[in-house]
Amino acid sequence: MNDTNILDFPKSLLGIQRKSEAIGFTMPSDIYIGSLLKTLIASKPKGHFLELGTGIGLSLSWMIDGMDAESYIITVDNNPELSDIATDFFGNNKQLEIVCEDGSKWIKEYSGKNFDLIFADAWPGKYSEIDKILDLVKVGGFYIIDDMSVQPNWPEGHQENVNTLVNYLEERKDFTLTKMNWSTGLIVAVRKYGK
């Protein structure tokens, strides 16, 4: 099997990649995680989705591409420059809400309905506010995190944060999870039942 042969790229992806290079954005999402996100989102018709860490919208482009006409996604990032770029690409999409706010604050204040899939690609929802964010995953819903394998941009000591997070997720009895040594290192967790 040739896993590099991805045939169904989002239409906006090339433009976003060019913009990423033009501004020197050094934390773009991997196309493999994008392809996986699109596939998982396609499994949730009329879905309600959350992305934490919009960046300039690389993963978001895949997620939107996987949604049906009755799905909705919220994406949150604390960087106004990056949020503005994502808005330039996706701002006219009525199935999308782009929030420029501190992710921890947003998570703590969110009181809407739970999500069919949460992709946590930022510190909030991954290394902080983890209990609250996991409580927002519907039964049968996905919690996805990437960058679990050593990355060149990790600060000194970050491996300890990763180890603590993985151990915590392994101990949760209300989620089943698969750790994947693929792409940038993924964990795919599914909520089994409430606490």
**pLDDT computed for residue 26 by the predictor:** 60
CA dihedral sign, ordered 3, 30, 13, 101: positive
For residue 14, being part of any structural domain is answered with no
For residue 62, being part of any structural domain is answered with yes
For residue 184, being part of any structural domain is answered with yes
For residue 42, being part of any structural domain is answered with yes
Spatial distance between the Cα atoms of 140 and 28, rounded to a whole number of angstroms: 28
For residue 94, being part of any structural domain is answered with yes
Q: Which residues pair with 50 in a beta bridge?
A: 74, 118
**pLDDT computed for residue 121 by the predictor:** 93
CATH of the domain at 103: 3.40.50.150
Spatial distance between the Cα atoms of 144 and 177, rounded to a whole number of angstroms: 10
**pLDDT computed for residue 36 by the predictor:** 94
DSSP letters for 140-170: EEEEEE---S--TTPPTTHHHHHHHHHHHHH
For residue 58, being part of any structural domain is answered with yes
For residue 118, being part of any structural domain is answered with yes
**pLDDT computed for residue 110 by the predictor:** 98
**pLDDT computed for residue 97 by the predictor:** 97
**pLDDT computed for residue 62 by the predictor:** 93
Range of the domain at 175: 30-191
**pLDDT computed for residue 14 by the predictor:** 73
For residue 98, being part of any structural domain is answered with yes
Q: Which residues of the chain have pLDDT under 70?
A: 1-7, 25-29, 194-195
Q: How many domains does the chain have?
A: 1
**pLDDT computed for residue 55 by the predictor:** 86
pTM exceeding 0.75:
yes
**pLDDT computed for residue 150 by the predictor:** 87
Asked if 55 and 77 count as a contact pair (C-beta separation under 8 A), the reply is yes
**pLDDT computed for residue 189 by the predictor:** 98
